[in-house]
Structure 1
């Protein structure tokens, strides 16, 4: 058996990379399928992370139209391909995305450090096929209310992606601390410090706080862009996240309080001449030269 496949007392499982190979997927496709709830994973008790049960691989393989049906459900496109798919100009597609009418599922930074949003092909086809959306696709101008939002600079792509990614993270949590960490991932450190003033509790929470799915060298421009996209900036969004995090933290504290250092007893001095108080189980000895001589020679007497 391969080294990345293990058998637990319950069920055999394998690492995501091995699971992707066996399902004929790229690793990024497998990750997206997991995020979309198409493939279930379990915690890796040995080394952290997630694993895929062998029974889950067999379930996916037995699905109708496998592997083509699975590949279709995780297929993504950028703006240009998405516009072509929906038979609209790229500019109109971008406006629809900015208004939140089509929601990105992934993003990456190109070589110019520009954000490239990716959309599920399945969702774009569904949007284009809905007759209610025909005026948005074929109308000469956007409805007045939507035009006003665009003129005001509205761009809901980052917020909508965060909402979607938050759902992905929460589906993979197994206890309230992990859920709290998933929520904290979208708040900046100042917000977290206000909600969790206790430093030990905050440190424990940060252990479960995932970073952006796309990152770079810490402190690099790419890392700053990733943090900006990951961090909520709309007041309503921040308010909802703070309320959800506060509620989940209460449950986490009740179930398993955050660890904190225990008070340790100060060591007892090993030598009677140690500077400070004498050991508690020894009475304090009289001080002075004659007292010292008596302790050295019990038969010594004063003149």
Structure 2
């Protein structure tokens, strides 16, 4: 959502906003990621928190406990206990694309650990009680047995939505989609070397957050770069659309000159509703249509 310039002047620094919201640092990071707390661009490339969001959240009944509950993260063990199912079933449902992770890290065994919003887990349980007990649909079981796993793709979809939402202009949007594609695919999609260099400066990679000290570059890239064919196609289309809009506002600046302040543009609205849906859910299949899960 675009933020008006008047809101920028009424914004708070990150530390001040976190303190007023009575949040721990990790909780505040989740609030920024999920859009509970919006930010606006400020001088020097920094971002500040919109004052009206802080006031609105502080005015909520049950503040700050209800806000902190919405920001609670759970792993597979806690998530399964939250809705009364086994950890194995929870993991299979997450692999099937029914739960999108919010964060991840690599543990000392070099395994990726996925974290979910507790509120998302509760909402899923309320919406799909039939999936909490009994045998899972046969086609879902078959897909999972063949290795289907949508957790990384679901996380990437959520993260790219956040980056596009917070982009200051169409160039920022294009940079996010370019980062999702990775250097090789982005080079094919953006033939102009000056534009590629500018996009890399704006967003060199999808920021994964805290990945842990055991994460390797290869492991990080495996989670942050698009790998599914449908996901790659959607990113390419979205990048092309963002670039077309960006070029109508201003050309990519020369690397040695930077972006002149006079050419800066205000934040733009999200892509129009007519655009195809983000790659946030598992691909459509007969078992999902039968369960009306798309």
Indicate the TM-score class for this superposition, using the shorter chain for normalisation: 0.7 to 0.9
Residue 86 of structure 2 is aligned to residue 78 of structure 1: no
Cα offset, 1:9, TM superposition: 11
Tell me the equivalent position of 1:232.
Answer: 226
Residues matched between the structures, number: 250
Cα offset, 1:235, TM superposition: 0.8
User: Which sits farther off after the overlay, 96-105 or 106-115?
Assistant: 106-115
Structure 2 runs not aligned, ≥5 long: 1-5, 257-294
Residues 115-139 of structure 1 show CA distances to partners (whole Å, capped at 9, x for unaligned) of 1111111111122223xx3332110
Cα offset, 1:26, TM superposition: 1.6
Supply the RMSD in Å over aligned alpha carbons: 2.3
Structure 1 runs not aligned, ≥5 long: 1-7, 263-303
Larger radius of gyration: 1
**SS of residue matched to 1:33:** helix
Cα offset, 1:215, TM superposition: 6.3
Residue 59 of structure 2 is aligned to residue 62 of structure 1: yes
Cα offset, 1:10, TM superposition: 6.7
Tell me the equivalent position of 1:179.
Answer: 173
Given candidates 190, 198, 205, the residue that maps to 1:196 is 190
**SS of residue matched to 2:114:** strand
**SS of residue matched to 1:117:** strand
**SS of residue matched to 1:64:** coil
**SS of residue matched to 2:105:** strand
Given candidates 12, 15, 29, the residue that maps to 1:14 is 12
Runs of 4+ in 1 over 3 A off after TM superposition: 53-56, 214-217
Relative to its length, the structure with more helix (as a share) is 2
**SS of residue matched to 1:85:** helix
Report the TM-score when normalising by structure 1.
Answer: 0.76
**SS of residue matched to 1:185:** helix
Residues 164-213 of structure 1 show CA distances to partners (whole Å, capped at 9, x for unaligned) of 11111111112010011111121121111111111111111111115332
Where relative contact order (Cα < 8 A, 6+ residues apart) is larger, the structure is 2
Report the TM-score when normalising by structure 2.
Answer: 0.79
Q: How far apart in 1 are the matches of 2:61 and 2:189?
A: 47
Q: How far apart in 1 are the matches of 2:162 and 2:55?
A: 23
**SS of residue matched to 2:209:** coil
The alpha-carbon distance between structure 1 residues 76 and 216, as it changes in their structure 2 partners (threshold 3 A), is: closer
Given candidates 150, 163, 171, the residue that maps to 1:169 is 163
